[in-house]
């Protein structure tokens, strides 16, 4: 029975002129987005690879110099684009793609594609994710809004209900029929996208690609299911197809346009980030007065005494390491907790904003889906924070290696230093710093971080199904 209803529903939809038009537009948009995204992704991979290789070589070819000067010369870390970024570029346009790593300073990421875009780009990118998040619900609404109210108006509902069909059979049959019609539009585009992905280079970059794709598909199917059952529910609850359409399009605009903007503004209001100038000045002042209130030079004087005591010496010249290098490294390390606190504060503010936005997903299913989609595609805040953390770890390691080398290789300079005989290191020394490699967050970590979003999406789906069953059970011709 359910199959018969689904088959009829499907046949009716695909023969409808509206379906042909909307499906064609949807397919064209999706394919264009996939192709544009794929082209953007392959370009980004090529550029990132060339830039990272180039900068690594530059590091080695920087010319003979003092190792600490080499640490000042620095290096760049370029954030690799994950393979699924072609589908959902998330916040990557706004977070920066490279970070300069140098001695004494922790830097913000630079190279934000958004800053190179025209004002029109603020209306959103044409990405596969954007289309599925915004236009897929609209497609479902257009295909399904007449399911019950349209049949009620045309009189076929009386005919159908007189045949001895239960309301639930009708609901499941229609859900299957409309769902199948939606799938035949979306599925080929997804397959084309997956095929392009499998042909792309560096697809092994993100581990568990199959799991990522499967999880992403499940999330989008749940999202489509939410709109499918909401459409059927509203269609069953309203008496006229026109009313059904108005209610559903209103909800679509609310969840797809209003709530993402509102959530962003609300999160900024409840979890504000400090003003950049003040934040920078505070950090600089904190560096100068010392993390724990003891200024760095005073702290280092204390350390010097401990060092002399440890080695049983009374002068710098007796130390078994180059004192200047020790001082440079110590001053570097005194800044670590200051950087961790102040950069951490900004990171915490952004993380809290993300959590507020996720919590608002209880009002709009687009919000949890958007978070999940960005996370699995590797274009969300967590991924960016991991990149910045890895870059900072690399920077500290780079400086440690250079200072350590200087400290061991220049002991003699403790007594013989002059401006002409300072230590000069070459490519062989610089090579002790390995090239920067970014390890994206583990998929399980990402999924665990977004457990609440999956729960929200599931609750939305359960609520939509529940509402649809309730509405179907209430179908009555009493006032028809």
Partner 1 sequence: MLEAINLKKTFGDYDALKGLDLKVNPGDIYCLLGANGAGKTTTINLFLNFIHPTAGKAEVCGIDVTEQPLETKKLLAYIPEQVMLYGNLTALENLRYFAQLGGHDYTETEYKSFLDRCGLQSGAYIQRVHQFSKGMRQKVGVAIALAKQAKALLLDEPTSGLDPKASNEFSALLIQLKGDDASILMATHDLFRAKETGTRIGIMREGRMMQELGTDDVSHADIERIYLEHMHGDSSKYAA
Closer to partner 1 by CB, 159 or 393: give it.
159
Confirm or reject binding of residue 12 to partner 1 (CB under 8 A): yes
Closer to partner 1 by CB, 1 or 362: give it.
1
CA–CA separation, 4 and 384 (whole Å): 50
Confirm or reject binding of residue 4 to partner 1 (CB under 8 A): yes
Confirm or reject binding of residue 478 to partner 1 (CB under 8 A): yes
Given 16, 102, 333, 340, the residue binding partner 1 (CB under 8 A): 16
- Greatest alpha-carbon span in the chain: 105
- Closest CB 153 distance from partner 1, rounded Å: 10
The three-state DSSP-derived secondary structure of the chain is CHHHHHHHHHHHHHHCHHHHHHHHHHHHHHHHHHHHHHHHHHHHHHHHHHHHHHHHHHHHCCCCECHHHHHHHCEEEECCCCHHHHCCCCCHHHHCCEEEEECCECCCEECCHHHHCCHHHHHCCCCHHHHHHHHHHHHHHHHHCCCCHHHHHHCHHHHHHCCCCCHHHHHHHHHHHHHHHHHHHHHHHHHHHHHHHHHCCCHHHCCCHHHHHHHHHHHHHHHHHHHHHHHHHHHHHCCCHHHHHHHHHHHHHHHHHHHHHHHHHHHHHHCCCCCHHHHHHHHHHHHHHCCCCCCHHHHHHHHHHHHHHHHCCCCHHHCCCCHHHHHHHHHHHHHHHHHHHHHHHHHHHHHHHHHHHHHHHHCCCHHHHHHHHHHHHCCCHHHHHHHHHHHHHHHHHHHHHHHHHHHHHCCCHHHHCCCCCCCCECHHHHCCCCCCCCCCCCHHHHHHHCHHHHHHHHHHHHHHHHHHHHHHHHCCCCCC
Confirm or reject binding of residue 159 to partner 1 (CB under 8 A): yes
Closer to partner 1 by CB, 155 or 344: give it.
155
Given 36, 91, 165, 192, the residue binding partner 1 (CB under 8 A): 165
- Closest CB 28 distance from partner 1, rounded Å: 24
- Closest CB 249 distance from partner 1, rounded Å: 23
CB 369 within 8 A of CB 133: yes
Which are the contacts of 352, defined by CB distance < 8 A and separation ≥ 6? Answer: 267, 270, 271
Closer to partner 1 by CB, 239 or 284: give it.
239
Binding to partner 1 in span 323-362, by CB under 8 A: none
Given 5, 44, 70, 209, the residue binding partner 1 (CB under 8 A): 5
Binding pattern for the stretch 425-454 against partner 1, x by CB under 8 A and - elsewhere: ------------------------------
Number of residues that bind partner 1 (CB under 8 A): 24
The closest alpha carbon to 98, from 396, 433, 431, 390, belongs to 390
- Closest CB 15 distance from partner 1, rounded Å: 4
Binding to partner 1 in span 129-158, by CB under 8 A: 154-156, 158
CA–CA separation, 430 and 296 (whole Å): 28
Closer to partner 1 by CB, 423 or 469: give it.
469
Closer to partner 1 by CB, 20 or 412: give it.
20
Confirm or reject binding of residue 160 to partner 1 (CB under 8 A): yes
Pull the structure tokens for residue 2.
């359910």
- Closest CB 3 distance from partner 1, rounded Å: 9
Closer to partner 1 by CB, 43 or 166: give it.
166
**Piece in contact with partner 1 (CB under 8 A), picked from 35-43, 160-168, 230-238, 441-449:** 160-168
Confirm or reject binding of residue 166 to partner 1 (CB under 8 A): yes
- Closest CB 12 distance from partner 1, rounded Å: 5
**Piece in contact with partner 1 (CB under 8 A), picked from 45-53, 306-314, 369-377, 470-478:** 470-478
- Closest CB 480 distance from partner 1, rounded Å: 7
Confirm or reject binding of residue 473 to partner 1 (CB under 8 A): no
- Closest CB 231 distance from partner 1, rounded Å: 19
Binding to partner 1 in span 270-299, by CB under 8 A: none
- Closest CB 241 distance from partner 1, rounded Å: 14
Q: In this structure, how many other beta carbons lie within 10 angstroms of the beta carbon of residue 253?
A: 13
Report how far Cα 306 is from the mean position of its chain's Cα atoms: 47
Closer to partner 1 by CB, 285 or 477: give it.
477
Confirm or reject binding of residue 184 to partner 1 (CB under 8 A): no
Closer to partner 1 by CB, 21 or 458: give it.
21
Closer to partner 1 by CB, 120 or 163: give it.
163
Given 119, 120, 163, 210, the residue binding partner 1 (CB under 8 A): 163
Confirm or reject binding of residue 240 to partner 1 (CB under 8 A): no
Confirm or reject binding of residue 480 to partner 1 (CB under 8 A): yes
Return the C-alpha torsion angle 220, 221, 224, 226, nearest 10: -110
* Residues at the contact surface with partner 1, assessed by CB under 8 A: 1, 4-5, 8, 11-12, 15-16, 154-156, 158-166, 476-478, 480
């Amino acid at each position: 029975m359910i199959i018969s209803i689904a088959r009829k529903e499907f046949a009716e939809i695909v023969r409808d002129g509206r379906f042909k038009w909307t499906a064609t537009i949807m397919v064209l948009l999706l394919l264009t987005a996939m192709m544009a995204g794929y082209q953007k992704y392959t370009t980004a991979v090529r550029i990132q690879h060339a830039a990272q290789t180039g900068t690594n070589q530059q590091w080695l070819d920087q010319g003979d110099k003092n190792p600490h000067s080499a640490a000042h010369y620095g290096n760049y870390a370029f954030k690799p684009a994950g393979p699924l970024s072609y589908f959902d570029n998330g916040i990557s346009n706004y977070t920066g793609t490279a970070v300069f790593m140098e001695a004494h300073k922790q830097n913000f990421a630079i190279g934000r594609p958004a800053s190179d875009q025209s004002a029109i780009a603020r209306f959103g990118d044409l990405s596969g994710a954007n289309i599925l998040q915004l236009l897929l619900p609209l497609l479902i609404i257009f295909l399904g809004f007449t399911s019950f109210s349209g049949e009620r108006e045309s009189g076929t509902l009386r005919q159908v209900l007189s045949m001895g069909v239960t309301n639930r059979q009708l609901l499941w049959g229609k859900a299957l029929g409309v769902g199948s019609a939606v799938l035949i539009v979306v599925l080929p585009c997804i397959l084309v996208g997956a095929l392009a992905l499998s042909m792309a280079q560096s697809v092994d970059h993100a581990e568990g690609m199959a799991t990522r794709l499967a999880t992403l598909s499940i999330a989008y199917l749940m999202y489509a299911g939410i709109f499918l059952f909401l459409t059927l529910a509203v269609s069953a609850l309203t008496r006229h197809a026109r009313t059904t359409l108005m209610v559903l399009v209103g909800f679509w605009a609310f969840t797809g346009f209003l709530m993402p903007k509102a959530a962003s503004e609300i999160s900024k209001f409840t979890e504000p980030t400090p003003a950049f100038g003040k934040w920078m000045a505070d950090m600089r002042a904190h560096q100068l007065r010392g993390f724990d209130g003891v200024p760095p030079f005073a702290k280092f004087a204390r350390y010097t005494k401990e060092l002399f005591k440890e080695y049983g010496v009374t002068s710098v010249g007796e130390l078994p390491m180059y004192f200047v290098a020790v001082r440079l490294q110590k001053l570097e390390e005194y800044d670590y907790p200051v950087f961790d606190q102040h950069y951490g504060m900004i990171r915490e503010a952004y993380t809290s904003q993300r959590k507020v936005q996720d919590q608002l997903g209880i009002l709009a299913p687009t919000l949890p889906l958007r978070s999940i989609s960005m996370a699995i595609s590797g274009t969300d805040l967590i991924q960016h924070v991991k990149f910045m953390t890895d870059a900072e770890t690399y920077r500290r390691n780079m400086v440690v290696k250079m200072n350590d080398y200087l400290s061991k290789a220049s002991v003699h300079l403790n007594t013989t230093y002059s401006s002409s005989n300072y230590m000069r290191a070459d490519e062989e020394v610089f090579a002790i710093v390995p090239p920067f490699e970014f390890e994206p967050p583990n998929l399980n970590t990402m999924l665990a971080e977004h457990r609440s979003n999956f729960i929200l999406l599931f609750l939305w789906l359960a609520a939509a199904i529940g509402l649809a069953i309730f509405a179907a059970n209430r179908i009555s011709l009493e006032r028809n």
